[in-house]
A and B are shown apart, each in its own frame.
Chain A
Amino acid sequence: DAGVTQSPTHLIKTRGQQVTLRCSPKSGHDTVSWYQQALGQGPQFIFQYYEEEERQRGNFPDRFSGHQFPNYSSELNVNALLLGDSALYLCASSLDRVQEKLFFGSGTQLSVL
């Protein structure tokens, strides 16, 4: 039973570029949430996708956008990258949108130079 998978594992971009991160949820899970974890900080909620729609959004600018596909996989897109976007991006899946037990992927480490 595959857990949550994320790709790529590492990414280096320069300021102003755009990036797309991908996530496949744990088998049987239909809800995907994205978190940003800066060095020395706890994960911060970006948004949650359920039934292919953004259901909740944290305090992140519109440069952060996402998508969920019919197979429940998800993408996180960040436009006009800033140095401060450098972080570990974590995808978490759950059985449904009210399920509190989250399963995290191993994350994508994004470095913006």
Chain B
Amino acid sequence: RKEVEQDPGPFNVPEGATVAFNCTYSNSASQSFFWYRQDCRKEPKLLMSVYSSGNEDGRFTAQLNRASQYISLLIRDSKLSDSATYLCAVNEGRGSTLGRLYFGRGTQLTVWP
């Protein structure tokens, strides 16, 4: 079983749409959660960290559900520039794996005009 699972998509949405991605993780003791954005074959860039209370950054909202072991990312008012692959990442926070991220395979988003 993979540590982190994501629906690979693709998601194709029009400009202005709201789109949501989910990601599940297998280790209930996981400590830290992140969303990264990756443009075609470039490096992943941290989009936002995910906190238990939920957090928002402009059009982006991230949520964590520890009971169900999933994290979500909501993008409102989609822009063409949001087209990318969105990777969720989890840090288990244990001594042997501190600082090590487990990534999902990514969800591809295409926003069309």
Contact = CB atoms under 8 A, between A and B. Distances in A.
Interface residues of A, number: 27
Interface stretch (B14-22, B40-48, B59-67, B68-76): B40-48
A43 B104 CA distance: 8
A42 B87 contact: yes
A33 B98 CA distance: 12
Contacts of A106: 42-43
Nearest to B93: A100
Interface in B27-61: 32, 34, 41-46, 49
Interface residues of B, number: 26
A94 B43 CA distance: 15
Interface string B1-14: 00010101000000
Contacts of B32: 100
Contacts of B41: 88, 107, 109
Interface of B: 4, 6, 8, 32, 34, 41-46, 49, 87, 89, 91, 96-106
Interface of A: 31, 33, 35, 40-45, 48, 56, 58, 88, 90, 94, 96-102, 104-107, 109
Given A42-B87, A101-B46, 10 more contacts: A42-B4, A43-B101, A45-B102, A56-B96, A56-B97, A90-B43, A98-B99, A99-B99, A101-B49, A107-B42
